[in-house]
Structure 1
Amino acid sequence: MARSPGLSQPHTLQHRAAAVSPFHSRSLESETSRGSRPLLVCNEQGEGAGSRAPAAESPARKNQHVSNVSVQLEMRSLWEEFNSLGTEMIVTKAGRRMFPTFQVKLSGLDPLADYVLLMDFVPLDDKRYRYAFHSSSWLVAGRADPAAPGRVHFHPDSPAKGGQWMRQIVSFDKLKLTNNLLDDNGHIILNSMHRYQPRFHVVYVDPRRDSERFAHENFKSFTFVETQFMAVTAYQNHRITQLKIASNPFAKGFRDCEPDDW
């Protein structure tokens, strides 16, 4: 069996959500290592993958605690504006937060059941890219670099009751991206000049002693095509730079220079 992916939260969180462990090894790790699509993708309009790129839902039977879960992407219009230009996300050795921040609104959870929310990132293809400034476009520069270590990022409030998750917008503002292969801070490790798709996962924490047996039924995964991006160490498209400065509230004091953490 492949090596378990690294975690973006302390091991205490892993212990608190022990019922999720089969989900890590079976679903996240194997799928991430192959760079394939998620095992289960919801695609109703207004949630899931969005109306522009329909995706089929896995025929595998799903637990009633996750079968009716739906997810709405927050700041969708902003994500679409970035996507129309070709979204770029900075990766640094120390780790950089994403902007736009990945935020969602959930519905359809069992208010009294426990859930873990987490994210991972999968390559969109097996290519490495370069930016052609004369044509303001991305060109294929060769085959992808060896895959970075697969990691997942737990939302720090996990696990929590479904009622709590549904009462508020869920924000992954603590998630950071890095290109440091030796990172020991739990950040998501990505290769620069490669394209990625963020994935969002809702996992029901099954109280049954044999929960590992039912792990494949206890989660539901969502992708949003608007959130695809190119990982870069410096913005290549000047229009992306301008839009980030104009739309990021934390960049208000840096209109004429590069901020340290956006």
Structure 2
Amino acid sequence: MAGSHLSGHLELSLPCFNTAPLLNSKAPQVTGVRVQLEMQALWQQFDQLGTEMIVTKAGRRMFPTFQVRISGMDPVAEYVLLMDFIPVDDKRYRYAFHSSSWLVAGRADAVAPSRMHFHPDSPARGTQWMKQTVSFDSLKLTNNLLDDNGHMILNSMHRYQPRFHVVYVDPAPNSHLNAHRNFSSFFFPETRFMAVTAYQNHRITQLKIASNPFAKGFRSTDAQEW
């Protein structure tokens, strides 16, 4: 599997499951929350090839889009949903075209400014979040360290793991004292990706064009080609 050897550091730092919270001893409003990744089969297709995501100065949307189904929330409680991206390891990579594989090119660049992307519908009650797919289609990735548009800042040629967080909005006046109990975090290994300014693996390019409904203009008219 292309790129599978790059993930060792991540598995050491995060639990090896994809639908359970990272921390225990949580508030009852978050202990029962379960999250299912949408388009999981497509994500797995990309992961087998070594997923790449374009980063630009202006910001670029992800494809596949990060979408989830949520269950187990308190229907009347309010929640904030957000995402962040953490480095898989401390390495910078380069793509070897002759072997169609990623190779370590050195130590990682200085960590980009850490940001959280809040879902624009936050906060909302559990019943609203659970009734439909939650999509982070407005999230954009950038390599502009001075970005002031709120995009997620990533270093090109570095590998990242998206994380999804569910935060219970505690109405108690001293809620800050329980902040560590009021959230659950989730991650899906198949959503890992390499940040790039241009696609390196031509098979990733082909799969993106073939599966992205917004890439029709790039699609060949010869169906046999795909």
AA matched with 1:89: M
How far apart are residue 254 of structure 1 and its match? 2.1
Structure 1 residue 159 corresponds to structure 2 residue 133:
no
Q: CA 1:77/1:255 → structure 2, altered by over 3 Å: closer, same or farther? A: same
Structure 1 residue 105 corresponds to structure 2 residue 69:
yes
Map residues 80-99 of structure 1 onto 2, 5 A cutoff: 80-99=44-63
SS of match in other structure, 1:198: strand
The answer as to whether partners of 1:88 and 1:232 remain within 8 angstroms in 2 is yes
Map residues 21-100 of structure 1 onto 2, 5 A cutoff: 37=13, 43=17, 47-48=19-20, 57-59=22-24, 61-100=25-64
**Which of 190, 198, 210 lines up with 1:234 in the alignment?**
198
Corresponding residue for residue 187 of structure 1:
151
Q: Distance in 1 between matches of 2:203 and 2:45?
A: 11
AA matched with 1:201: H
Corresponding residue for residue 109 of structure 2:
145
Corresponding residue for residue 199 of structure 1:
163
What number of residue pairs does the alignment pair up? 209
State the 4+ residue runs in structure 1 displaced beyond 2 angstroms.
Answer: 41-44, 56-59
**Which of 240, 245, 252 lines up with 2:209 in the alignment?**
245
The answer as to whether partners of 2:51 and 2:193 remain within 8 angstroms in 1 is yes
The answer as to whether partners of 2:22 and 2:186 remain within 8 angstroms in 1 is no
Any idea what the Cα deviations from partners look like across 1:128-180, whole Å, max 9, x if unmatched?
Answer: 00000000000000000000000000000000000000000000000000000
Structure 1 unaligned spans of 5+: 1-35, 49-55, 257-262
AA matched with 1:143: R
SS of match in other structure, 1:151: coil
Q: Distance in 1 between matches of 2:203 and 2:107?
A: 27
AA matched with 2:198: A
Corresponding residue for residue 12 of structure 1:
none
The answer as to whether partners of 1:42 and 1:57 remain within 8 angstroms in 2 is no
Q: Distance in 1 between matches of 2:76 and 2:134?
A: 18
TM-score, normalised via structure 2 length: 0.89
Q: Distance in 1 between matches of 2:22 and 2:181?
A: 13
The percent of aligned pairs where both chains have the same amino acid is: 74
**Which of 90, 93, 100 lines up with 1:136 in the alignment?**
100
The answer as to whether partners of 1:117 and 1:201 remain within 8 angstroms in 2 is yes
Q: Distance in 2 between matches of 1:77 and 1:37?
A: 25
SS of match in other structure, 1:206: coil
Any idea what the Cα deviations from partners look like across 1:237-258, whole Å, max 9, x if unmatched?
Answer: 00000000000000012225xx
Q: Distance in 2 between matches of 1:72 and 1:124?
A: 21
Q: Distance in 2 between matches of 1:78 and 1:57?
A: 24
TM-score, normalised via structure 1 length: 0.77
The answer as to whether partners of 1:90 and 1:231 remain within 8 angstroms in 2 is yes
Q: Distance in 2 between matches of 1:190 and 1:58?
A: 26
